[in-house]
Amino acid sequence: MSLNRRELLKGALTATAAGAVAPLVPVSKAHAINFGYQPFSQEFFKPPVLPKTSSIEPAPGSPDASLGSDAVYHGIAPEYYSDHPAHLPDWDRFPEKYWHLDAVEGTWQFFPGVETPVFAYKGSEGTGSETAASFPGPTLLARNGEPTVVRYENKTSVETSIHLHGDHGPAHSDGYPDFYTLQGKKRDYYYPNISPRQNATTSVPYPATVEEAGEFDVSHIPTTMWIHDHAMDVTGFNVNRGLAAFYLCEDDVELEHQASGRLPKLNGDFDIPIALKDFAFNSDGSLKYDLLDHNGHLGDVFTANGKVQPFMDVYRKKYRFRILNACNARYLHLRLNSGTGKNQKDGLPFLLIGKDTWEVGEATNIESFTISPGERFDVVIDFSQLPEDVDTYYLQNIMHQTDGRKPKGIRPKKESRPWLQFRLLDGDPPGDQEVEGVENGEFSISEGDVVREFYRYDENEVVATRLFEFSRKNGAWVVNDRYYSPRRTDATPLLNSMERWIFKNKGGGWWHPIHAHLEGIQVVRIDDLKVDDPDFPVEYRWNTDLVNLEGGQEAECLIKFRTFKGPFVCHCHIIEHEDMRMMFTFDPREAGEEGMNDGIRNHAFNEEAALQSGMPTGCIDPNGLLFDHEQTLSSGEVVGPGDYQHLEEEGVGFPPDFYEGVCEPDGGDWDPEGNQNTPESPIPEEQQDK
Ligand SMILES: [Cu+2]
């Protein structure tokens, strides 16, 4: 059965019309389907490492693996080539490495013995990267200065687009919402694994030499990233369905931490990534997901790395946990606790060593913390501090939330659910030292240590200030009163410039965690609170790639746009808000240079846009942009915003002025009779709307 993005959304409507979708019941009131599972009776799952290889056939960028080819239909980023002006020689400090990664349809056991249909990332069969399908997918381990290419094949029936959350990389490989990897096709995602440059300046958009470019900005070298799907309209569905995995990176600073015994070996027994995600289940074991719920999908079953409330064996030692909130819409407030009940307050602190993609300037103890969807807290927990009679310990969420609007608050009396149990083991861990000369688990990292040099941006470098207001409109979501369209650019910063971006939540009833691609954000003010105020939230004192806006809140941020031209997106990370248009495009460009959406990108790309996006000229799904421009097919039938009318007739809350908002290209002449329905269209006749 065809299940592309269009069919998915239409299918959801049919189901509603037939009454097959149960009325929405707040999750707190509904009874969770848990298949008789007793919490902490299954073991924690640590995803396997995705093996790298030293060669791949056909070679990336070769004629056989270029845009439009059978082997790699979507090609590779222009920045891959060493003759591209952005590609400087020191990007290739170590020989390039490769991964073969698929997205497949399979099953996963969230509950022991219950096979749940999912999408999953896995290392491709028959390649050097082979792994089993899992949730989260296999962990990608990268070395800063070692370029990697992920040859990705979409073996699912839905359009996908991989975003490496936190990456500083080319737009072609960034998961822009309509830079799809289509069903049955491959794309070479190119990750240079570099950071921005210290000397980036607008007067030299592409420095010719390494000396001119300056040093890599060490405070922006990434450590904890994750890949997740980002496809237009269906990101929420695809991520909830399982398309997420960790991407951890080490560099010279990180290796020095390990060699000197400050931090554990990368992804070793004492460095453990944990993705926390809520799910909802149907009684047949399948995942429940309502495509028409744009408020934010909440689940009533709580998992760590794809296992419902598991246990993890730990020694009384120090561990590094990279905690990811992988929920579509649920905020968590996490604390450590010796009990499963409501009132214990004997928690160990978390030693915060990294926030989102980057390590922090100073290791800082925090008692508990709120983590928004998409956010990461990189923490060390010292189990040696626990009294000897404590043999089980818990990671507990005490944020109470019953719908996608916003959490009801930190309410340990109402919500004190342990998502993960630690079982304390006595004695020393068996096995050889993971790092020579360092006893396993004996790491010296302590409060006050400099984890990574941090450079605060100089506000005098700001060349433009922009205000982005996030609000609700006609049951959907807007930024500056506009619905997202991938065909419209909302900001064109100068390449290598710094801007002041003010994010404002215009409403009081909803929270929005705002995430920018390409670069870290430095928050300088939240409402009246300045960054140098002792009360300023500790998690926003250094680099962050996400800033949460509570009702009515305003955050003033500094952001640079270095190395790569766009398009990139900035959006709310409550994925249902993002899918329902709370997103905008920014497209860093040289002075005077045309942007991706200048004139009109339409469905017939010019050559530059085709190379940049990896979508071959004239081969774009004419039905692809479900809510974008109206399209006249060769049959004479009009599709596109027509679907919106269909949806509106079904009364599902699509905004009445939607058509207006997205059908006017910013400039240039849009030709509705353009090249959008060529004979080479990859969409079979029977899938086109009749
Ligand atoms: Cu939002």
Q: Report how far Cα 92 is from the mean position of its chain's Cα atoms.
A: 26
How far, in Å, is the centroid of ligand 1 from the Cα of 513? 6
How far, in Å, is the centroid of ligand 1 from the Cα of 371? 14
| In the chain, domain spans | 47-250, 271-425, 459-586
Asked if 113 and 93 touch (Cβ cutoff 8 Å), the reply is: no
Which pLDDT band holds residue 520 (cuts at 50, 70, 90)? Answer: very high
How far, in Å, is the centroid of ligand 1 from the Cα of 561? 24
Measured between its terminal Cα atoms, the distance across the chain in Å is 17
Residues 6+ apart with CB under 8 A from 561: 493, 494, 495, 496, 497, 498, 499, 518, 519, 586, 588
Structure confidence at residue 21 (pLDDT):
34
352 has a pLDDT exceeding 90: yes
pLDDT, one tens digit per residue, over 531-566 is 999 999 999 999 999 999 999 999 999 999 999 999
Q: Architecture of domain 271-425 in CATH?
A: Sandwich (2.60)
DSSP string, 654-667: --TTHHHHHSS-SS
How far, in Å, is the centroid of ligand 1 from the Cα of 526? 17
pLDDT, one tens digit per residue, over 4-56 is 665 666 555 444 433 333 333 344 445 678 899 999 999 999 999 999 999 99
Which pLDDT band holds residue 649 (cuts at 50, 70, 90)? Answer: very low
Structure confidence at residue 429 (pLDDT):
94
Which pLDDT band holds residue 178 (cuts at 50, 70, 90)? Answer: confident
**Where is pLDDT greater, at 24 or 411?**
411
* Alpha-carbon gap, residue 316 to 79, rounded angstroms: 47
- The amino acid that residue 344 corresponds to is Q
How far, in Å, is the centroid of ligand 1 from the Cα of 160? 21
How far, in Å, is the centroid of ligand 1 from the Cα of 315? 39
Considering only the top CATH level, what class is 47-250? mainly beta
How far, in Å, is the centroid of ligand 1 from the Cα of 266? 33
How far, in Å, is the centroid of ligand 1 from the Cα of 373? 10
292 has a pLDDT exceeding 90: no
* Alpha-carbon gap, residue 651 to 649, rounded angstroms: 5
Tokens of 636: 């004479």
Give which of 531, 510, 164 is closest to 356, Cα–Cα: 164
How far, in Å, is the centroid of ligand 1 from the Cα of 511? 6
Look at the block and give the residue holding tokens 């300056």.
Answer: 214
How far, in Å, is the centroid of ligand 1 from the Cα of 572? 5
How far, in Å, is the centroid of ligand 1 from the Cα of 235? 14
Structure confidence at residue 10 (pLDDT):
55
DSSP string, 167-199: ----GGGTT-TTS-B-TT-EEEEEE-----BTT
How far, in Å, is the centroid of ligand 1 from the Cα of 512? 4
How far, in Å, is the centroid of ligand 1 from the Cα of 375? 14
* Alpha-carbon gap, residue 475 to 3, rounded angstroms: 25
How far, in Å, is the centroid of ligand 1 from the Cα of 103? 27
Give which of 449, 493, 452, 443 is closest to 200, Cα–Cα: 493
Structure confidence at residue 690 (pLDDT):
28
* Alpha-carbon gap, residue 332 to 409, rounded angstroms: 10
pLDDT, one tens digit per residue, over 109-129 is 999 999 999 999 999 999 999
632 has a pLDDT exceeding 80: no
How far, in Å, is the centroid of ligand 1 from the Cα of 353? 27
Q: Is the pTM of this model over 0.75?
A: yes
How far, in Å, is the centroid of ligand 1 from the Cα of 573? 6
How far, in Å, is the centroid of ligand 1 from the Cα of 582? 7
Structure confidence at residue 626 (pLDDT):
45
How far, in Å, is the centroid of ligand 1 from the Cα of 584? 13
How far, in Å, is the centroid of ligand 1 from the Cα of 453? 32
Say which CATH superfamily domain 459-586 falls into.
Answer: Cupredoxins -  blue copper proteins (2.60.40.420)
Answer yes or no: same fold for 47-250 and 271-425: yes
**Where is pLDDT greater, at 28 or 377?**
377
Neighbours of ion ligand 1 (CB under 5 A): 512, 572, 574, 577
631 has a pLDDT exceeding 50: no
pLDDT, one tens digit per residue, over 580-613 is 889 999 999 999 888 887 755 554 567 788 889 8
